[in-house]
Structure 1
């Protein structure tokens, strides 16, 4: 509490060894007179006040009035040094500088202790030295024996805890900063306890198991057990957002929906790395949001350095790379497909021809296709009409051809179908199926554009020991022969109309 200075006549002078011990004590000591405060409290009690804390909280001036009733009788040398005062008179004349700021909460606690009959109390507060330094102090006060009835002698000691408080404040600020970094990180962060997993793996080693990879293949239930023993300590806000969970209990209650299917194989690889001493890992995995959405994840896993003997503190970061994976897949698709028809493009077609020429499987049949009349349609009605015909051609071939065969657009109006493990009869069946679906497509579009798809088709089959190049040439010749027959039947001059 904040005392006031006593009159000079009230100051006790040292006269014996006890006084010398008081004056030389290595802690700040104050002798104070609380007698007027006691009379004030006794008066309030007589008025019927029962809850002192509530009564003081109603009016801050009541606290100030109580503080003004305290009188400092004497301080020791350590007090003068602590508060940078050259004399007791100087200190007592500047108590308003020492006890400033809002101390009401602390004072109310101290007054309440005395009100409830406790003749000792302890608290922490802030004082100020005369040179302006902030002093965090622990206050201990005791009504001295023999003065219990009037409180006119109270011994108050102040411990300077400034350094400890500053260190604690720094720790608190660091903890808050670290927590904010964790909580508001744009990356999903998990704090996990793998100590039970470590215990399980140690038990396997103790049984003499050395080939862990074989062990978990023979005992897949061990992987399941390890997954169940992971304890999630905490996650951040980005984790809840990424997985669509409203809070941590909802997330933890649905872990089996998040980590499933392919995750088991990834976790088995993670255990294998841990078995081999790799406590920092990264890999790409598949997780699932609570709504069922597939999430492509780049995972980084690290046992903290000071927990390598226990694995009870593991930091896992998950970065959602779903958009990147989709972009990569689309770019890969564009690299192998024709955007207009959605069929494979010439690049992929050439790569597959090279692969088939080396490895087969034989026989390989080729269907060479040319779309009749495309150039004339482009010249007469524009490329939009021609593009529409090409898209229809893509629809026909996509429905006609099933794996392992596949169709490709290899030029403006040129298409091909590669048929691994297919002989001449299979190639002819494929041609018939294409023509059947072509007729159906023409019937469906008859009332829309009025343009019917017409194809020139050539077939060839390459057997083991032959070259695909020669088969391609035969298929092309057969296709051009078929195109010539088309123009002859139509009575058109191909040189004048184009292909």
Structure 2
């Protein structure tokens, strides 16, 4: 996590540096101050600290035994981290059916059968969700997820979910990735996803823990940085062209 935190600190530093350059050379009256930029992007460091120092990281690194899954629910009931427990046993049954048909290459199968990926999204059953999960997806209660993951998925979501399915089918007990989901109201969210199969449930996938961190603001910050870079490049190009014109005149 230290390297992750360093990356985000460097991002903030670069935003600060570029903001001064742009303010001085492009739009001196834009009203955007360095303090405002730092305030907006402070979430990046907060997120790194939260993931490295909070109970979340400790629990992620050392899962509780199957009989203590309720402890997860107590820990994360009021956590700002989205936490849910899913029953993926129907996925395991689906994987078994594929194997019985003589197919062992799950990557080939799911890449050539996108309809199977969509079907698997429906087979996931949510057993428990905390308040942060409801807020993240704009849901009123767990009953809003009766269609599995379909209501929150996007094209990019399916690509990552396919990788998750392949990992689980091949026996992996954890998976993590950045992906995209949508709230029930249609608002896009960039998220960091981590899933863990509860020890003792590897054969059935009946209890799978899912942690989600909303990184939309971080993505917005990265987009801002890219725009600022483009602005600086355009400004530098115009400045060079202007100087050349003056010399020629």
Provide the C-alpha distance between the structure 2 equivalents of 1:414 and 1:236, rounded to a whole number of angstroms.
Answer: 56
Provide the C-alpha distance between the structure 2 equivalents of 1:305 and 1:282, rounded to a whole number of angstroms.
Answer: 17
Equivalent residue, structure 1, for 2:43: none
Deviations 1:318-369 (CA, angstroms, capped at 9, x unpaired): 110111111122123323322xxxxxx1xxxxxxxxxxxxxxxxxxxxxxxx
Mean CA deviation greater in 185-194 or 242-251: 242-251
Provide the C-alpha distance between the structure 2 equivalents of 1:314 and 1:203, rounded to a whole number of angstroms.
Answer: 20
For residue 331 of structure 1, give the secondary structure of its aligned residue in structure 2: helix
For the 8 Å contact 1:296–1:320, the answer to whether it is kept is yes
Structure 2 counterparts to residues 94-493 of structure 1, below 5 A: 178-252=72-146, 255-338=149-232, 345=233, 408-410=234-236, 413-415=239-241, 479=245, 483-484=248-249
For the 8 Å contact 1:285–1:297, the answer to whether it is kept is yes
For the 8 Å contact 1:254–1:290, the answer to whether it is kept is no
Question: TM-score, normalized by length of structure 1?
Answer: 0.34
For the 8 Å contact 2:126–2:145, the answer to whether it is kept is no
CA RMSD of aligned residues (A): 2.6
- Pick 1 or 2: higher relative contact order, CA cutoff 8 A, min separation 6: 2
Q: CA deviation at 1:205?
A: 1.5
Provide the C-alpha distance between the structure 2 equivalents of 1:335 and 1:286, rounded to a whole number of angstroms.
Answer: 25
For residue 277 of structure 1, give the secondary structure of its aligned residue in structure 2: coil
For residue 414 of structure 1, give the secondary structure of its aligned residue in structure 2: helix
Gap change, CA 1:236 and 1:220, over 3 Å in 2: same
Q: CA deviation at 1:480?
A: 5.8
| Structure 1: gaps of 5 or more residues | 1-173, 339-344, 346-407, 416-454, 457-475, 485-499
Q: CA deviation at 1:276?
A: 2.5
Provide the C-alpha distance between the structure 1 equivalents of 2:133 and 2:121, rounded to a whole number of angstroms.
Answer: 19
Question: TM-score, normalized by length of structure 2?
Answer: 0.65
Deviations 1:151-206 (CA, angstroms, capped at 9, x unpaired): xxxxxxxxxxxxxxxxxxxxxxx898654323112211111111111111111112
| Structure 2: gaps of 5 or more residues | 1-67
Deviations 1:208-256 (CA, angstroms, capped at 9, x unpaired): 2122222222222211221111111111111111111122223446853
Gap change, CA 1:328 and 1:227, over 3 Å in 2: same
For the 8 Å contact 1:240–1:251, the answer to whether it is kept is no
For the 8 Å contact 1:288–1:295, the answer to whether it is kept is yes
Provide the C-alpha distance between the structure 2 equivalents of 1:331 and 1:247, rounded to a whole number of angstroms.
Answer: 37
For residue 306 of structure 1, give the secondary structure of its aligned residue in structure 2: coil
Provide the C-alpha distance between the structure 1 equivalents of 2:210 and 2:145, rounded to a whole number of angstroms.
Answer: 16
Aligned length: 182
Q: Which has the larger radius of gyration?
A: 1
For the 8 Å contact 2:85–2:127, the answer to whether it is kept is yes
For the 8 Å contact 2:125–2:146, the answer to whether it is kept is no
